[in-house]
Structure 1
Amino acid sequence: MARTKKQKAGKLSIADMRKIVNKRAGITVAHDLGGSNPTEVKEWIPTGSRWLNSIICRGKYAGIPVGKISEIAGLSASGKSYMAAQIAGNAQKMGIDVVYFDSESAIDPDFLANAGCDVENLLYIQAQSVEFVLETMEELLAGNENRMLFIWDSLAMTPAVSDIEGDFNPLSSMAVKPRILSKGFAKLTVPIANSQSTLLILNQLKTNITSNIAEARLEPYFTPGGKAAIYAYSLRIWLTARRGKSSFIYDDKGFRVGTEVKAKIKKSRFGSDARECTFKIVWAGEDVKIQDEESWLEAIKGSNHLTNAGAWFTLQYADGTSEKFQSATWMKKLQNEKFRHRVIELMEQEVILKFEKKEADAKEFYDIDGEE
């Protein structure tokens, strides 16, 4: 009997191959990058600081990327939780469900409400263990069709199950948490992207204790969680707070109610690594907020359309007219719609477009040496 010749395969188009892959996977995993796809960031959740939003992504006004895993790490009392509360409130306004994992049992409902959160529609969960947090997120992602913002406050303070059941000897559970996170983030990254949900990790900056002086100078801090977590992050923002007297905000009776914070983009898959900005956070009283508008003057000081002579500044409008003001009257001036519109226009030019087009010296945008 003659052997049947093998039938020659035809040429497949990219669209045909995409259908074959998706059929084999049982779900849509092959996408047309020219159209809608899970790797594209379609929306950003505002951080509460226009200046910070402007330095996160090259060439555009951004924020916390929807569909990705991000980290906000900081020193003690640098404003991590306060910024997370602002982000949570902004996410709710976008129709995103907020799930708040708290390992420190330190969140005050009044504080969240004052920061703009709808507390009654926010899911608060005590973070019992790293495994519990990861498994809960996995289950919610599988069962909820709405977009979600998961806030984990904080990764550093969340124990593993072996930590809870074991003794207090740190050597008995060495590197357990990084191994769990390595597996957990590998499992969750794709479901988070496909559901257009967001994971925001709050973490601590810890001093890098090493005998290598050069290493300590270049990397004075590190974050708990291991290197696998760092690879999973699309965005890392590090917060450091000054401790000088001039950096604090005081009320009319001299009590401290806030502090100045420096935000640095430690990692960005959006082309803005090492960029920096500063702003002040009010963390006491009824008006808990990031002093956003107060920081705009510093953001546009490099503009050719803003000149300074002594205590007076002169803002030049696009129509050729100008207006003088002092820093003490800055907030009052911003109430004028024409003045405010011009300031926002200059912020876009100075902070976003000049960086995108490389129209100024690099040192004006970020820390050249890459140091804290």
Structure 2
Amino acid sequence: MIAKKNFKSEQELGAASTEIKNIIENITKEYGEGVITTLGESKLKAQKTLSTGSLLLDQAIGTSGYVCGKIVEIFGLESSGKSTLALHAVSECQKSGKKAAYIDLENGLDIKYVRNIGVKIEDLIIAYPSSGEEGFEIISKLIKGGIDLIIVDSVSNLIPRSQLEANLEKHKIGNPETTTGGMALNFDADLRIKLKRKDKIEKNNELIGIEVEARIVKNKLAAPGKIANLEIIFAQGIQKEREIIDLATELNVIQKSGTWYSYEEKKLGQGKENVTEYLLENPELYQEIEKIIIETINNHQGYAD
């Protein structure tokens, strides 16, 4: 026995579309634009992203970077690179012609380091709220004012006015890797990145940076659990010229034979440090390799720009 399929006529389908359109129009009239739509026309269809400033981390997140309009939490022990990642996000935001604000609750920004990362300090809004309530009020005004990226460094210092007036100590966390904000921040964050300091980076027996493991512990928009091993140089932050070497080798854009690296039969140098210097001295070559890598990753993951 073959069951008959229940096909709807074009007239019935048209009536359904009109009905859906009317529902959306009525709810929009009451609650305003953007509150309701169809999935095919929703923001999920084409998500705008902001690079993290690290090609490796962009790849690990799986969406080419931070998805705009979402909450991102970066946490980890002291000196694990949290502020560095935040500043790279500011730099990438400014490169795209958008506005960023930094809620500095730790008063720990080094202007020289901020500049070296690529932040235009004259265009970066800095706020120093005196309490948690004031901080949230400023954040609300910044959002209403059209600021595209807001960094809060750090959430643990958003202390309620009542505690400050009572001269109580700042929040103390029993486990330094446990984030503040209770369950609300963990739940509301669309992306959570845990940073863990792994090793030192030395050049000619001199300490120049640290290796950091960035683990994607929560990701509502792509697969979680992926890891990016970042290299943070003390004077400059994340150098794409350094990390692109490993990524390009993995994707076979750059070939490695022993300790020698080559690109399209052209020798780049022996050892990662020398190849990094070569790419820094030849920005056009770096940009060419970077473009190939980004196109390869985008084609593989299929996410929207």
Superposed pair shares fold, TM > 0.5:
yes
AA matched with 2:292: E
RMSD (CA atoms) = 3.3
Q: Deviations over 1:136-168 (max 9, x none)?
A: 2223323x2x34211100001221222212243
Inter-CA distance 24–354: structure 2 relative to 1 (3 Å threshold): closer
Q: Secondary structure at the match of 1:159?
A: coil
Specify which of 269, 279, 282 is matched with residue 230 of structure 2. 279
Q: What TM-score results when the alignment is normalised by the length of structure 1?
A: 0.65
TM-score (normalised: structure 2): 0.78
Deviations 1:311-365 (A, max 9, x none): 33565x5xxxx4455324423554385686457535764x666677xxxxxxxxx
1:264 aligns with 2:212: no
The percentage of aligned residue pairs carrying the same residue is: 25
Match of 1:293 among 223, 241, 250: 241
Q: Deviations over 1:6-36 (max 9, x none)?
A: xxxx97611110010011214441123323x
* 2:101/2:147 contact within 8 Å kept: no
- Residue 180 of structure 2: aligned partner: 224
Structure having the larger proportion of residues in helix: 2
Q: Is the 8 A contact 2:261 2:275 kept in 1?
A: no
Structure 1 residues 37-52: aligned runs within 5 Å: 37-39=42-44, 42-52=47-57
CA distance in 1, matches of 2:130, 2:34: 34
C-alpha displacement of 1:229: 0.8
Q: Equivalent residue for 1:234?
A: 190
2:152, 2:260 → 1: CA distance?
Answer: 45
User: What are structure 2's unaligned runs of at least 5 residues?
Assistant: 1-14
**Residue segments in structure 1 that go unaligned for 5+ positions in a row:** 1-9, 175-203, 209-220, 357-372
Which of 91, 97, 100 does residue 98 from structure 1 map onto? 100
Q: Post-superposition shift, 1:101? A: 0.6
* 1:147-226 paired onto structure 2 within 5 Å: 147-168=147-168, 207=175, 221-226=177-182
Match of 2:276 in 1: 331
- Aligned residue for 2:39, secondary structure, equals coil
Count of aligned residue pairs for this structure pair: 283
Q: Match for residue 56 of structure 1?
A: 61
Q: Which residue of 2 aligns with 1:120?
A: 122
Cross-structure match for 1:14: 20
C-alpha contact 2:135 2:158 (8 A) present in aligned 1: no
CA distance in structure 1 between the aligned counterparts of 2:301 and 2:38, rounded to whole angstroms = 30
Distance 1:255 1:313, change over 3 A: closer
* Alignment pair present for 1:345 and 2:292: yes
Question: Cα distance 1:83–1:339, how it changes in 2: closer, same or farther (>3 A)?
Answer: closer
Contact 1:308–1:314 (Cα < 8 Å) also in 2:
yes
